[in-house]
Structure 1
Amino acid sequence: MRTIKAQHRAQSAPIADLVTYRALPTSSVEHLDPFLFLNHHGPQVYQPHNQGLPFGPHPHRGFETVTFILAGDIMHQDTGGHQSIIGPGGIQWMTAGRGLIHAEVSSPEFKRTGGPLEILQLWVNLPAKDKLVEPRYIGLQESEIPAVALDEARVVLHAVSGSWAGTAGAVTPLTDIQLATLNFRAGGKLSLTIPAERTLFFYTVLGRLRVNGQDTEARRLVEFNYDGDELHLEAPEDAVLLLGHARPFREPIVSYGPFVMNTEQEIRQAYQDYQAGTFGRWKE
């Protein structure tokens, strides 16, 4: 079994009136190559006639964002011409690549009626050879993501990318990033084989889990060593897990604000390109 190196508690980092916990990076962990960043927004309930999410137009270059909408919705728009409103159970996968501007706000309906909101946003690095690829965006509703019932339906796995339990994920990523969300009912068990050389990304969203004999709980990121292929999970209570794995790139990471590159010169160039308008012009 793969052993646990450390457990990292997500740190409170509210954004305006949006409840937010930063799970990566924190004071105890910088990144888990190639996983760079995770914000856990909510859970919270918005009242009717609210302002919704605060993420107006902003640029990105050099990485990908994967957003999991657990409750509420997100209305996406970007300078690549993509638009969508994704509801509960859906995901957004955006490859920023050479650069674009996007906004992630709540739909007019959500701002009018309010309701529960909970969202995870994960940033995944791109290797140097792909930093400047053409941007792309994929928005999928819950019904478009394969769901696999395991352990007599005590575990339901939502295959976002890669291959899980013999089922192909909904997204074919640019790099070999495998991601899934798992819903456990109390008593659910699952065993997985994941090659030891791959980085594991293991974040408990809700409830408590036991992984390879150790207990973890909500808003904990578990960091693993690279010393085993086996992962054994048990849920003593209902739980939700964000699980991923990928081969580490082992390249320099230089990040500044919304840009993630390999050198400081590339960061300076990103700002110059953005200011020159090569990321596109925002249209309301």
Structure 2
Amino acid sequence: MADNPTPTLPQADGRNPATLGFAAALAAFLIWGLVAPVFFKQLGNVGAVEIVAHRVLWTVVLVGLWLVPTRGLSGIIRGVGSWRRLGIFAVTTALIGSNWTIFIWAVGDGRLVETSLGYYINPIINVLLGMAFLQERLSKRQGVAVLIAAAGVLSLVLSYGSVPWVALSLALTFGVYALVRKKAAIDPLIGLLVETALLVPPAIAYLLWLSAHGVGNFGVHGLGTDLLIVLTGPVTAIPLVLFMVGAARLKLSTIGILQYIGPTGQLLLGVAVYGEAFTSSHLIAFGCIWVALAIYSADALFTHRAARAEARAAACRAE
């Protein structure tokens, strides 16, 4: 997410950038929460790793067609920077590749409720990672929120008798991915292009292996399946671009609230559409997470408003 959204000043044509930003961010989270799970459900006859391999190839094609004319090869190369920075990209590539594979497998395996739990947990993971690696401090309210969320996850573990590994894996891989990208100040689109480009060789090798063994799915199940496979590129890139448009025009607190649309959509789809179980244990765990997120979001909003008020007061004193 963008840490310093651009000021929402009216444009010359009279439109407020915040309106465009809100619409773009809302669309991104709706795609991630409602469209993407349904989309990947339609590819249930294709293995998760094969879907990720195609997702990599078609995302490279789509993002490359956008970036090469707009940024130029020299701009993309500058975005990579150095061999050390390429090593950082290798780390983010492994993280996002793992995240994609786990998510797609979980959707196909009927675990949307657990994926939603993972993305509800993710903001709390971000807080803990910020404390551990960015020297960020928790307020008392944020500390309470983290403890309540941890209690919710622990209650689910105790009721299941096992760790909800899908939820925790999704939360941890995406949380660490965001942390590394933040520390390295990676351009979102160039980062996506480089990360998927690094995955191209193993993706092609895997698809060729599937084809050689006669178990590949592209060109086998008809035009409809082939079209869905090709569309994995747009389904990956479009919400990311929309999110960047929104993040550049909205307050961070607004983005923070909107991000819960994604896991809420996944939860509703899992329970109401696909008939996944939502037990009393889920209710306790999700209830704790929702309370924790409400406390954390309220604290973030309060802190943001207090900082703005202090900045206005300082400006008045300076005058």
More strand by share: 1
Q: TM-score, normalised by structure 1?
A: 0.27
Larger Rg: 2
Larger RCO (CA within 8 A; separation ≥ 6): 2
Q: TM-score, normalised by structure 2?
A: 0.25
More helix by share: 2
